[in-house]
Amino acid sequence: MDLKVLLVDDEVEIAELYIRYLQRNGFSDVAAVHSSQAALSHIEQNRPHLVFLDISLGEESNGTGMDVLEAVRQTQPQCRICMMSAYRDEFERSALQKGAYAFVAKPFRPDTLLAIMKRMQQEIV
């Protein structure tokens, strides 16, 4: 099964780097957006299986990753969301309590995303 994956990060270059890495490793349906509004729109229209979602999305985003997490949990509970942040101590517990599938502390190696995707793939097969 080819997972539909969305990366949400306001750091465009980082998101593109992760997309290329995942595509080179066999995941072809990978997209990126860079704001909370774009994330909500993409998730509603494309119904990804897994979303890697940064908590901090920049001032112009008009919302945080936590806001997106809460909205998606209410409308698409089957969508798994992996939260990402450099502030693990501040956000990990809260993100998991609000329904995040996993939490990844930044910075991390791209193979961390791959491991999460492979674990999820095994769970839904």
Domains for the chain: give ranges and CATH numbers: 37-113 (3.40.50.2300)
CB neighbours of 101 closer than 8 A, spacing ≥ 6? 50, 80, 81, 82, 120
DSSP state of 20: H
pTM over 0.85: yes
Q: Please write the tens of the pLDDT for every residue from 12-59.
A: 999 999 999 999 998 899 999 999 999 999 999 999 999 999 999 876
Query: If you ran DSSP here, which 8-state letter would residue 26 be given?
Result: T
50 touches 5 (CB < 8 A): yes
Q: 117: exposed, middle or buried (C-beta count within 10 Å: 0-12, 13-18, 19+)? A: buried
97 vs 8: CA distance, rounded Å: 20
